A and B are shown apart, each in its own frame.
Chain A
Amino acid sequence: MSDKTESPLHTVGFDARFPQQNQTKHCWQAYVDYHKCINIKGEDFAPCKVFWKTYSALCPVDWVEKWDEQRANGTFAGDVNP
Chain B
Amino acid sequence: MLNLLNMINIIYNDVPTPYSCYFQDSATPNQEGILELHDNIMFYLFIILGLVSWMLFNIVRTYTKNPMAYKYIKHGQTIEILWTILPAVILLIIAFPSFILLYLCDEVISPAMTIKAIGYQWYWKYEYSDFINDNGETIEFESYVIPDDLLEEGQLRLLDTDTSIMVPVDTHIRFVVTAADVIHDFCIPSLGIKVDANPGRLNQVSALIQREGVFYGQCSELCGINHCAMPIKVEAVSLPKFLEWLNDQ
Residues on A lying within 8 angstroms of B by beta carbon are 1, 4, 8-14, 21-24, 26-27, 56-62
Contact = CB atoms under 8 A, between A and B. Distances in A.
Of listed B140, B201, B202, B205, residue having the most chain A CB within 10 A: B202
B176 A23 contact: yes
Contacts of B106: 21
A1 B138 CA distance: 11
Contact of A58 (B168, B176, B180, B247): B176
B132 A22 contact: no
> Mostly helix, strand, loop or mixed at chain A's interface?
loop
Contact residue range for chain B? 35 or more
Interface of B: 106, 108-114, 116, 118, 127, 129-134, 138, 140, 168, 171, 174, 176, 178, 180, 195, 200-205, 239, 243, 246-247
Contact of A1 (B108, B110, B129, B133): B133
A62 B120 CA distance: 12
Contact of B201 (A12, A24, A61, A62): A24
A12 B136 CA distance: 18
Contacts of A27: 202
9 contacts: A1-B133, A1-B134, A1-B247, A11-B111, A11-B130, A14-B110, A21-B205, A22-B202, A26-B202
Contacts, number: 72
Contacts of A56: 129, 132, 138
B203 A11 contact: no
A77 to B, nearest CB: 13
B108 A14 contact: yes
A4 B201 CA distance: 30
B236 to A, nearest CB: 14
Contacts of A24: 200-202
B138 to A, nearest CB: 7
Contacts of B180: 60, 62
A60 B114 contact: no
Contacts of B176: 23, 58
B108 A60 contact: no
B112 A11 contact: yes
B119 to A, nearest CB: 11
A7 to B, nearest CB: 9
A22 to B, nearest CB: 6
Given A10-B113, A60-B116, 13 more contacts: A4-B243, A4-B246, A9-B113, A11-B111, A11-B130, A13-B111, A22-B202, A22-B203, A23-B176, A56-B138, A57-B129, A59-B202, A60-B118
Contacts of A23: 176, 202-204
Contacts of B247: 1
